[in-house]
Chains A and B, each alone.
Chain A
Amino acid sequence: MTKALDRPPVRSAGVSALRRSVRFDVRLVGLAGVLVLLCVIGLITRPETFLTQDNLSTMLRLAAAIGVVSVGMTFVIIAGGIDLSVGSIVALSSVWMTTLATQSYGPVVMVLCALLVGLGCGLINGALVSYGKVVPFITTLAMMASARGLAERLSGRQTQVVTETGFTDFFRASVLGIPVLVIMLALVFAVGWIVLNRTTFGRRTYAIGGNAEAARLSGINVKLHTALVYGISGLCCGIAAIMVVARTTSGASTNGLFYELDAIAAVVIGGTLLSGGRGSLIGTLIGVLIFTVLNSIFTQNNLDTDIQNIAKGAIIVGAVLLQHTTARRRKRKPPARTDPDPQPTNTNGSQS
């Protein structure tokens, strides 16, 4: 029984794999169009500074932390959950890794510390959701409050400046002109994509989000799997914390403010269903990039942040509407194209 699910749920491998990749493009084409459009606007309004290598690497570096958080968020949302605690976990990890005691052990311990704190918080979330049977919204809301509180406690609400130069030198360097942070983002994204699309772990994540009960009946250890998915999200927060600390050379309990909203926004406009069971990491990445490019365009043209927020809201709504229309158009051609998704039945997998 498990074996059936361990294979990607594709009916006839050759043909539909090709079809799936084509369909993939169709779904994301509109989104990528928005991104390209924004870049064109940037290029027209600021031809001399927008598409420079310098600005591209700056934008990607700014996208790195929120991008990594969004990768974890995509996993959680596809599995039918939600993680509101990401911003607070970033704050806690960044504070914990920059305490004087941690810094005295050197850069390796700082990195390990951030990863462990993030992973630990994520696993606590996961255990509470799957074994404690607390609704994800509530669990992660609680973690959001207490992780931020613990961060404030540890830091005494002060900004902890990193004096350990080995750490900052490494993470602020560039390899072949590409900032280390961007390479990290690419790595996290690539690993996330492979895990989600090319492993049984990924297929099971989709299955649980699509229909947790069906997934359980088909032999998936839903509880353990859900806990691990939250662990992934927490680990991503730990990585993001390292990036934030490297960028700002400081850990503070104010780090990661509103990351949960930015990450959810990026995931949703990337085409992932909030109810779980369907979604794509590429969409999430484009979503993150759209917001970063938008921010850059507005700042470069010296426009106020209030207009930027209006545009942000409009883009969220616009992107989702666009997906609805493309989805409807897809549905109108039923025979060959129905449900390539693993468990297309009731899309309500939020409890487990």
Chain B
Amino acid sequence: MIQTNLARRGFLFGAAGLGAGAVLAGCTSNEPEQQNNPQQQNLAQGDNAQPGQPVTIGFSAPAADHGWMAAMTINARSAAEQFSDVTLNATEGTNDVNQQIAQVESLINAGVDVLVILPFDGKALTQVGRQAMDAGIPVVNVDRVFDTPLAYRAWIGGDNYRMGVNAGNYIAERLQRENVNNPVIGEVAGIDSLPLTQERSQGFRDALQRHGLSVGPRVSAEFTPESGERQTANLLQGAQTLHALWNHDDDQGVGVVAAIENAGRNDFFMVGGAGSTNMMNLIKADSGPVKATVLYSPSMASSAIAMARLLGQNKGLGDLAEHEIPSEITTYSAVVTRENVDNYMDVGFDS
């Protein structure tokens, strides 16, 4: 009797387990209805848009472990597809410095015409950048800068300091327009030990100071939605009056917005950072606290590919008097607001 009961129980459990397994397996799909390939509208205009001599571009970047970094790789690939004369030789993204060095070395050996390198650690990959340059392969260094200009032909990257400055200016000007006296301005930073966070905060402080304002409550999250939610929830509890909030990073911004909604607060406005599609949609909808975001756009990866192509074809940038590609380009941390958001949707990324 007990035996049969047990057997039946085992059978039932087994069947339940199998059923659960089948249901779960069906839940792993993540295909959106339509895949949107980012097409940057401004890429290659005028004469430079004409196909030229074929160029093989080697591309190496860290692992796409968060939205922004994933967008860098996606953008580089789609930019290469936009040019009929470009062949992209992209390596698998890795956060292992040694492996990235090995990848770049193998790209050098493969004889690519130009290299585009977004190093996991600029210092650690300086050597291999020089190696490529010594071998006569121009290197386009993206965002995380090498130790010496000898290691790259051109550098393109974002401006963390100006992100803070532009966020600060926008907030200060908006508060002045609204005639707020002695405003309380909060800041949700990223990981505090990173230089990029320090630069952003410095810029923010400097800009506010210019307007006679200062940063009030400040927390630092870890670039993840969860940490953003946790830290913002605490910050909001401590700051019963708040007029503006700058959040450094749109990846963690998902959590920051959730915390504001959880707290039911609508007494202040929020400015984001980086420029994810998600935040841009919120800015466009204009229903929540998010009123603006300052760009640190992964569209720089598309630009890097365009620069690499022109380097390979010995062309300069259109519109500039220079005959060559400039050696350093710093992208501008534009402020995206409801008024101009439609112009920037093409550079937004999925966080």
Contact = CB atoms under 8 A, between A and B. Distances in A.
Interface string B232-243: 011111101000
A299 B235 contact: yes
Contacts of A302: 216-218, 238
B217 to A, nearest CB: 5
Nearest to B256: A248
Given A250-B225, A252-B225, A252-B226, A155 B254 contact: no
Given A117-B24, A154-B28, A250-B255, A300 B225 contact: no
Given A158-B70, A159-B254, A252 B224 contact: yes
B226 A58 contact: no
Interface in A225-267: 244, 247-250, 252-257
Contact of A305 (B64, B192, B223): B192
B339 interface: no
B226 A257 contact: yes
Interface string B121-149: 00000000000000000000000000000
A49 B237 contact: yes
Contact of B237 (A58, A96, A101, A253): A58
Contacts of A253: 65
A99 B27 contact: yes
Among A48, A49, A112, A299: residue with most chain B CB under 10 A = A299
B159 interface: no
A277 to B, nearest CB: 30
B234 A300 contact: yes
Nearest to B232: A299
Interface string B24-66: 1011111110000000000000000000000000000001111
Nearest to A91: B226
Contact of B228 (A61, A157, A248): A248
Given A254-B224, A255-B226, A305-B192, A46 B27 contact: no
A16 interface: no
Contacts, number: 148
Interface residues on A, range: 35 or more
Contacts of B30: 99-101, 154-156, 160
B219 interface: yes
A227 B4 CA distance: 24
Among A154, A161, A172: residue with most chain B CB under 10 A = A161
Nearest to A117: B24
B245 to A, nearest CB: 14
B250 to A, nearest CB: 9
Nearest to B193: A306
Contacts of B258: 247-250
B28 A96 contact: yes
B351 interface: yes
A295 interface: yes
Nearest to B216: A302
Contacts of A295: 230, 234
B113 interface: no
Contacts of A304: 192, 220
Contacts of B234: 58, 62, 295-296, 299-300
A145 interface: no
A54 interface: yes
Given A55-B237, A300-B234, A152 B27 contact: no
A116 to B, nearest CB: 5
Given A244-B226, A299-B219, A301-B238, A101 B26 contact: yes
Contact of A257 (B28, B220, B222, B263): B222
Contact of B351 (A62, A159, A306): A159
A62 B230 contact: yes
Given A101-B29, A249-B261, 15 more contacts: A100-B32, A102-B27, A109-B27, A113-B24, A116-B24, A120-B21, A154-B30, A157-B70, A158-B350, A161-B278, A247-B259, A254-B225, A257-B222, A257-B226, A295-B230
19 contacts: A55-B237, A58-B234, A58-B236, A97-B27, A99-B30, A101-B27, A109-B27, A113-B27, A156-B64, A157-B66, A158-B66, A159-B278, A172-B262, A248-B226, A250-B255, A252-B226, A254-B225, A299-B231, A299-B237
Interface of A: 46, 48-49, 52, 54-55, 58-59, 61-62, 96-97, 99-102, 105, 109, 112-113, 116-117, 120, 152, 154-161, 172, 244, 247-250, 252-257, 295-296, 299-302, 304-306
